[in-house]
Amino acid sequence: MRHRGLLKGCLFSLLLALAWTAVAAEKQQGTLIVAIDTLGAQSMDPIQETRSAHAHYQAPMYDAIVGFNFEKGGAGPGVAERWELAKDGLSWIFHIRKGMKWHNGDPVTAHDVKFSLERTMSKESIASRGPGLRRDVKSIDVIDDYTVQVHTNGVQVHFAEGLSRATYQEGQLMPKKYIETVGAEGFRKKPIGSGPWKFVKSVPGDRIEYEAIDYPHYRGTPHFKRMILLLVPEESTRVAMVSTGEAAIASISPEAIRESKAAGLRVVSVPGTMQAIYQMYGLYLPESQKNPLADKRVREALSLAIDRKQIIEHVMYGEAKMPMPFATFDYSVDDDTERWQNWSREAFRYDPKRAKQLLAEAGYPNGFELKFASTALAGTPFMVPIGLAVADFWRRLGVKVKYTNYEYGSFAPMLRGEQKQLVGVVSMYRTAGRPAAAARFYGAFHSKGAHHLLGRGKDCPKLCKTFDELHKAVTVEQDPVKRTEKTNRMIELVSNEWFAVPILEGMGYWAVNPRKVGAFKAIPGRHEFGDLFQRMPRPEQKPW
């Protein structure tokens, strides 16, 4: 009797799968063509890509161990359905989704997870977080086919979020058995993943082609049969291609929003992809104490002198938001979002009268000379006009701004070490949208961080030491409530000092031809659409 029941169950599952396949195959049709500004290294091997372009072209075919919260943004279930921090805080346990398969039919197991992390940490990997993972991970154990335990060096409360493409690329899953069989070169020539799109062809400098899977997938099964990602570096050309229907979607900058709307295209804005900020270097040094910027009132005055709403309206064509404190967004974890939204409304107001008053109180009623270095990081060319607008507001305040524009490749070396060329200088910068702010805070403010705005080595004053201690306390705190409380204190500490000041919260922008693709929603904080393509409906289908 039991066997008969089992048989019936199997038959039913088989019929269901066949029915699904038939329906899916019938439904999938057409080609989704997307024109984008970069294909990065255009390598289908995840350990050979270092830039955010992975989220354009690797994400369609590779799943990540931790996925997205599609509604709110930030991390959510991925290949791991759930995960938990061990009681001692020294390891993370990931529970792998059952029933997943690679594009060659092999099952996805915990062994693939261990293999992928170890491959990403290997010496041959140039994945940008590879060295960070080597530092953080002690060892990896496969508990069973669907459970992995990652032992960390010390408590790493944000480790799991780092395995989501909401944060980094290093959680991408690679097929252990396949790579061991065909070798790394074989894998690069004919890669397979477990995502909703299968690799078909890559033409260097031109395009990558994919074919949709025709079975259920936790990220969704594609509505289109094929997809092509085209590399089109020139923005006007991308907009023209979407206008003529040669492409369905194209990445654009704020400058192209009006042009796109005038051409009858829909503009999709992805909220919370970055913050445009300015920051001040080396003010902790003894020799900087005579610099007007060393006075907190001056720093606050500079912020109050900026009319952020005007910049949003005129530089970003209305497609940006008032910012929250440094590196925090609506989808941030471990902080009190509502509190910081309220704080930002007051703190980031435009108040030139109060700004002048603060300058006068600080002893600079007639302004002072300020060196301003403007630069634009990859993918955010609009940083330059934002910087120009900021400089103009400061000039209105009476500050004599000495403005220099740097190509980012030339600016980046100045950030290293003692930052001698930047001491006492204000520069434009941006911080990318990530769910956990702690890592960004480390980079900007920690005495061992890349920017070390509060101090470094022996020149680490009280504020610098307090920050270092607080940051440590945040990153090892296992109790979420206490972690939120400590994170709030950390945000408060740096926000009230005005060393790194948000100007606006930027968005990612896309021009969409409604005749070629249906309506869809972006994932907050993730500019690239690699995790979304499978959800995009065809024009005649219901919006997603």
Partner 1 sequence: MRRYILRRFLQGLVLLVLVATIVFFLGRLTGNPADLMLPEDALEEDRVALIETLGLDGPLHKQFGIFLANALRGDLGDSIRHREPAVDVFFSRLPNTLKIVPGTMALALILAIPLGILSALYRGRMIDRVSGAIGVLGIATPNFWLGILLIYVFSVQLGWLPSARMGGPQHYILPTITLGTFLVAGFMRLIRSSMLEVLDSEFVKLARIKGLSETIVVWKHCLRNALIPVLSLWGVLMGGLVTGAIVTETVFAWPGIGRLTYEAVIFRDYPLLQAVIIMDAVLIVIINLVVDILYAYVDPRIRLAE
Instruction: Give the number of other CB atoms < 10 A from CB of residue 529.
Output: 25
Least separation in angstroms between residue 33's CB and partner 1 is 10
* Residue 54 vs 114, nearer CB to partner 1: 54
Asked if 240 is part of the footprint of partner 1 (rule: CB under 8 A), the reply reads yes
Q: Quote the longest CA-to-CA distance of the chain.
A: 94
Asked if 19 is part of the footprint of partner 1 (rule: CB under 8 A), the reply reads no
Asked if 384 is part of the footprint of partner 1 (rule: CB under 8 A), the reply reads no
Asked if 440 is part of the footprint of partner 1 (rule: CB under 8 A), the reply reads yes
Q: How many CA atoms lie within 13 A of 160 on its CB side?
A: 27
* Residue 104 vs 236, nearer CB to partner 1: 236
Question: Across the strands, what pairs with 405?
Answer: 374
For partner 1, which residue of 212, 432, 470, 511 counts as binding (CB under 8 A)? 432
Asked if 204 is part of the footprint of partner 1 (rule: CB under 8 A), the reply reads yes
What does each C-alpha distance from 294 to 153, 283, 499 come to in angstroms?
Answer: 37, 6, 9
Token representation of residue 98: 């059952």
> Would you say 504 and 319 are in contact if contact means Cβ atoms under 8 Å apart?
no
What is the per-residue burial (b if ≥16 Cβ within 10 Å, else e) of 275-291? Answer: bbbbbbbbbbbeebeeb
Token representation of residue 528: 């690239």
Give the Cα-Cα-Cα angle 187, 188, 189 (nearest 5 degrees). 90
**Euclidean distance between CA atoms 329 and 483, whole angstroms:** 17
* Residue 82 vs 189, nearer CB to partner 1: 189
* Residue 222 vs 449, nearer CB to partner 1: 449
For partner 1, which residue of 206, 418, 469, 479 counts as binding (CB under 8 A)? 206
* Residue 363 vs 514, nearer CB to partner 1: 514
For partner 1, which residue of 24, 85, 90, 263 counts as binding (CB under 8 A)? 263
Least separation in angstroms between residue 416's CB and partner 1 is 7
CA 378, distance to chain mean position in Å, is 13
Q: Which ranges of 122-263 does DSSP label H, i.e. alpha helix?
A: 130-136, 176-189, 235-244, 257-262
> Would you say 270 and 510 are in contact if contact means Cβ atoms under 8 Å apart?
yes
Which of the 8 DSSP states describes residue 522?
P
Interface mask toward partner 1 for 392-431; x: CB under 8 A:
----------------xxx-xx-xxx-------------x
Question: Across the strands, what pairs with 374?
Answer: 405
* Residue 171 vs 222, nearer CB to partner 1: 171
Least separation in angstroms between residue 457's CB and partner 1 is 12
Stretch touching partner 1 by CB under 8 A, among 23-31, 55-63, 236-244, 301-309? 236-244
What does each C-alpha distance from 81 to 99, 140, 363, 372 come to in angstroms?
Answer: 12, 18, 58, 47
Stretch touching partner 1 by CB under 8 A, among 219-227, 237-245, 289-297, 469-477? 237-245
Asked if 442 is part of the footprint of partner 1 (rule: CB under 8 A), the reply reads yes
**Euclidean distance between CA atoms 109 and 103, whole angstroms:** 14
* Residue 210 vs 364, nearer CB to partner 1: 210
Asked if 448 is part of the footprint of partner 1 (rule: CB under 8 A), the reply reads yes
**Euclidean distance between CA atoms 83 and 507, whole angstroms:** 30
For partner 1, which residue of 94, 146, 168, 382 counts as binding (CB under 8 A)? 168
| Length of the chain measured in residues | 544
* Residue 168 vs 197, nearer CB to partner 1: 168
The sign one gets for the Cα dihedral 532, 537, 539, 544 is: negative
Asked if 464 is part of the footprint of partner 1 (rule: CB under 8 A), the reply reads no
Stretch touching partner 1 by CB under 8 A, among 61-69, 97-105, 120-128, 285-293? 120-128
Which of the 8 DSSP states describes residue 435?
S
Least separation in angstroms between residue 168's CB and partner 1 is 7
Which residues have C-beta within 8 Å of that of residue 325, sequence separation ≥ 6?
340, 343, 344, 491, 494, 495, 502
* Residue 221 vs 427, nearer CB to partner 1: 427
Asked if 153 is part of the footprint of partner 1 (rule: CB under 8 A), the reply reads no
For partner 1, which residue of 14, 17, 25, 126 counts as binding (CB under 8 A)? 126
Least separation in angstroms between residue 240's CB and partner 1 is 4
The residue count for binding partner 1 (CB under 8 A) is 55
Asked if 41 is part of the footprint of partner 1 (rule: CB under 8 A), the reply reads yes
Residues 301-360 that bind partner 1 (CB under 8 A): none
By CB atoms closer than 10 A (0-12, 13-18, 19+), residue 342 is: exposed
* Residue 196 vs 449, nearer CB to partner 1: 449
Stretch touching partner 1 by CB under 8 A, among 203-211, 309-317, 476-484, 492-500? 203-211
Binding site residues, partner 1, CB under 8 A: 35, 40-43, 48, 50-51, 123-126, 128-132, 134-135, 168, 203-206, 230-234, 236-237, 240-241, 243-244, 246, 263, 378, 408-410, 412-413, 415-417, 431-432, 439-440, 442-443, 448-450
